[in-house]
Amino acid sequence: MFWQKDIETISRSALEELQLKRLKQTVGLAYKNIPFYKEQFSKLNLKPNDITSLKDVPKLPFTTREDLRENYPFGMLAVPKEQVVRLHTSSGTTGKPKAIFFSKKDVDRAAELIARCLIMTGVKKDDVLQNMMTYGLFTGALVMHYGAEKVGVLVIPAGPGNTKRQIALMQDFKTTTLHLTPSYALYLAGVMNNEGLDPKDFSLRRAYMGSEPYSEETRKKIEKFFKIDVYNSYGLSEMNGPGVAFECTEKNGMHLWEDNFIMEIINPETGERMPEGEEGELVLTTLYREAMPILRYRTRDIAMIIPGKCKCGRTHRRISRIIGRTDDMIIVRGVNIFPQQIERVLMGIKAVAQNYQIVLESYDLMTIRVEISKELFDGKVEHLVNLQSEITEKLRAEILVKPKVELLEPGTLPVSEGKTTRVIDKRTL
Amino acid sequence: MDKLRQLSIFSENKPGRLRKITKVLAEEGVNILAINIASSNGFGVIKFIVDKFEPAYQKLKQKGFTVSLNEVLAIELTDRPGGLFEVAALLSKKRINIENAYVLILESRKKAFLIADVKDVEKAKKLLEHENLRFYREEGPKKKKNARRVK
């Protein structure tokens, strides 16, 4: 089952020809319309005409999230604002998020890529998709939504949480397909199990899990409980959101749509390209995006390109599961969070010391443990309770997820040297 | 001067904290006269009235505890029905709000004091100046046969 069979099974040589053609157009567009890129190019003494083959890609400058942040809000736009119809944002390490703009064509193209993914995993018009990702500024829900509508399935825009209602929706509307994070899938399974609900009484056939890295064991666990097929989904807001790479029915790596993105695996320290089969940082270049083309974006996700052909017949190469990150970003309920964001909020509150810890207890629960300041303790419980509320509210406003805040005596936490001691992830994904 | 302080110690709400704190006080030879624990959302504040505030405060601080010393109202109660009512009525009349309260019993069935945390202790004391109340003082209660006016 193919959505666009010709392009999905295109020969490698034709694909590379197409990539080169689109790359030249993208580079030209970026150079002409985005001052940031023009500057980067002149620093390297580079001109768009210097890109004559795919081998020239490494000549192009990288784009990092700092670049996006520094050019917030409109600095990375390649088209006039009037042509832009959608904005999505994604958390940054500092106060400002990253802004990603879509033209009408961009929105439609993102939907086409999703459509490929859905048809690839057996979806038909009579399927019912329950979209449990967060709607709003995040790409996770809306991009899947538009793609699913394009295919013609019934989309239930449930959003996350409110599990009782999710279950009722699944039963009442005979949901066949779920789109959710792996941590929510585990949570949902737990709730259904406790309620004595048998997945056999539901109409579920498949689930797409993404937004958070998770293991093969977790996939099998979910498949076993729900009696469905679980497919891994990869995406990032800067590259439209979900739909960048997706598993086919072989479930052996995610096909990355190479007609839309040039992918590279690099050594994060040196920037050197890694060969197929070796781990490194995934770098992506957009080939069709018109509102905001991005060249060689450092995703900070670590993965590898799986060598060899896939039995499904698609010629777009596969990437492995995301093995890790090159930074300390964590993902809670599908939302990207940087410990630096938490640190910054805490720094602005006098009554707390700088020592804190993030504990990811379960899908639902993120606890921030904070040491209070000895000097500012005045003996009053109400002040402490107010402090706790203040911290909770300020954190929630910053990271967009409401944490539980634990106040600790100074000296309780180990003095943190690096990133690893700050975050304790108990979720076993 | 009629003044009574209390020690407040911040503590996580888990077993062993009270033990640790009272051990320090015991080793320092400090006698605990009254205790009150208020907890909320995973933490608590333990308040003590002791006989030697300075050494207790310094030692606890030295041992790394998060401790504060603040003044409270300490009003003598008469040990009979209506005893507390009378004081409560008076505080209410003066619009003095009690934020936290517990009792200090000195001589069992003979003398008890209402320990009250109020927002502004000085103001409260002024308001109660001419009332017929007896207060506890850290130097020890005054041994008087008659009710005396409070300064």
Query: pLDDT truncated to tens, each residue of chain B (151 aa)?
Result: 578 999 999 998 888 889 999 999 999 999 999 999 988 888 999 999 999 999 999 999 999 999 999 999 999 998 889 989 999 999 999 999 998 899 888 877 777 888 888 888 999 999 998 888 888 888 655 555 444 444 4
Question: Do the chains contact at A381 and B44, CB–CB below 8 Å?
Answer: yes
How far from A247 is each of A117, A209, A391, CA to CA, in Å?
8, 10, 41
Beta strands (DSSP E) in A2-140 are 84-90, 98-103, 128-131
Q: In angstroms, what separates the C-alpha of B60 from chain A's closest C-alpha?
A: 12
Q: In angstroms, what separates the C-alpha of B11 from chain A's closest C-alpha?
A: 6
Q: Which of the residue ranges A43-52, A103-112, A196-205, B103-112 would you say has the lowest mean pLDDT?
A: B103-112
Which of B8, B41, B117 faces A385 most closely, judged by CB atoms? Answer: B41
Q: Which residues contact A180 (CB under 8 A, 6 or more apart)?
A: A132, A133, A160, A188, A207, A208, A209
| Of A50, A54, A130, A122, the residue nearest A287 (C-alpha) | A54
Q: In angstroms, what separates the C-alpha of B71 from chain A's closest C-alpha?
A: 11
Three-class SS of residue A404? Answer: strand
Distance CA B25, CA A103 (A): 70
ipTM above 0.85, yes or no: no
Three-class SS of residue A390? Answer: helix
The confidence score (pLDDT) of residue B151 equals 47
| Of A349, A290, A265, the residue nearest A30 (C-alpha) | A290
A9 phi and psi angles, rounded to 5 deg: -115, 20
Sign of CA dihedral B28, B32, B38, B42: positive
Question: Do the chains contact at A377 and B11, CB–CB below 8 Å?
Answer: no
Q: Which residues of B touch A381 (CB under 8 A)?
A: 38-40, 44-45, 100
Contact A365/B at CB under 8 A: no
Which of A374, A379, A411 faces B45 most closely, judged by CB atoms? Answer: A379
The confidence score (pLDDT) of residue A416 equals 58
User: What is the four-CA torsion angle of A384, A387, A388, A390, rounded to 10 degrees?
Assistant: 160
Instruction: Calculate the CA A361 to chain-centre distance.
Output: 21
pLDDT digits (tens, 9 = 90+) for A318-367: 999 998 888 888 888 778 888 888 888 998 898 887 788 999 988 778 99
Question: Do the chains contact at A388 and B8, CB–CB below 8 Å?
Answer: no
The total of other beta-carbon atoms located within 10 Å of residue B130's CB is: 9
Which of A355, A381, A392, A406 is the best mutation test for B, with the most CBs of B within 10 A? A381
Q: Which of the residue ranges A86-95, A233-242, B40-49 would you say has the lowest mean pLDDT?
A: A86-95
CB-based contact A305:A265 (threshold 8 Å): yes
Question: Do the chains contact at A381 and B67, CB–CB below 8 Å?
Answer: no
Contact A409/B at CB under 8 A: yes
Distance CA A204, CA A206 (A): 6
User: What is the per-residue burial (b if ≥16 Cβ within 10 Å, else e) of A253-271?
Assistant: bbbbbbbbbbbbbbebeee
**Domain residues of chain A, as ranges?**
69-327, 338-425
Q: In angstroms, what separates the C-alpha of A390 from chain B's closest C-alpha?
A: 14
| Of A191, A214, A1, the residue nearest A115 (C-alpha) | A1
The confidence score (pLDDT) of residue B27 equals 95
Tokens at residue A26, please?
């993208």
Q: Which residues of A touch B97 (CB under 8 A)?
A: none
Average pLDDT, integer, range A112-119: 98
Q: What is the DSSP string of B68-93?
A: EEEEEEEEEE-SSTTHHHHHHHHHHH
More confident position, A429 or A168:
A168
Average pLDDT, integer, range A121-143: 95
Contact B11/A at CB under 8 A: yes
Average pLDDT, chain A: 93
pTM for this prediction: 0.79
Average pLDDT, integer, range A171-179: 98
**Confidence grade of residue A419 (pLDDT, cut at 50, 70, 90):** very low
Which of B66, B70, B72, B102 is the best mutation test for A, with the most CBs of A within 10 A? B66
Question: Do the chains contact at B11 and A409, CB–CB below 8 Å?
Answer: yes
Which of B12, B40, B67 faces A381 most closely, judged by CB atoms? Answer: B40
- Please state, for a pLDDT cut of 70, what percent of chain A lies above it: 97
**Highest mean pLDDT (candidates A32-36, A92-96, A135-139):** A32-36
Which of B10, B47, B100 faces A377 most closely, judged by CB atoms? Answer: B10
| Of A242, A173, A152, A227, the residue nearest A197 (C-alpha) | A227
Q: Which residues of A touch B38 (CB under 8 A)?
A: 381
Q: Which residues of A touch B67 (CB under 8 A)?
A: 377
Contact B92/A at CB under 8 A: no
CB-based contact A158:A130 (threshold 8 Å): yes
Question: Do the chains contact at B8 and A377, CB–CB below 8 Å?
Answer: yes
| Of B106, B107, B39, B26, the residue nearest B74 (C-alpha) | B106
Tokens at residue A251, please?
């479930």
Average pLDDT, integer, range A95-116: 94
Average pLDDT, chain B: 87
Which of B45, B64, B67 faces A381 most closely, judged by CB atoms? Answer: B45
Amino acid at A396: R
| Region of A333 on the Ramachandran plot (φ > 0 left; ψ -120 to 50 alpha; else beta) | left
The confidence score (pLDDT) of residue B118 equals 87
**Confidence grade of residue A420 (pLDDT, cut at 50, 70, 90):** very low
Q: Which residues of B touch A365 (CB under 8 A)?
A: none
| Helix residue ranges, H only, A181-244 | 182-194, 216-226
CATH architecture group of domain B4-70: 2-Layer Sandwich (3.30)
Q: In angstroms, what separates the C-alpha of B40 from chain A's closest C-alpha?
A: 7
Which of B41, B60, B102 is the best mutation test for A, with the most CBs of A within 10 A? B41
Pick the CATH number of A338-425 from 1.20.1260.10, 3.40.50.720, 3.10.20.30, 3.30.300.30: 3.30.300.30
Fold for the domain defined by A69-327: Rossmann fold (3.40.50)
Sign of CA dihedral B86, B87, B92, B94: positive
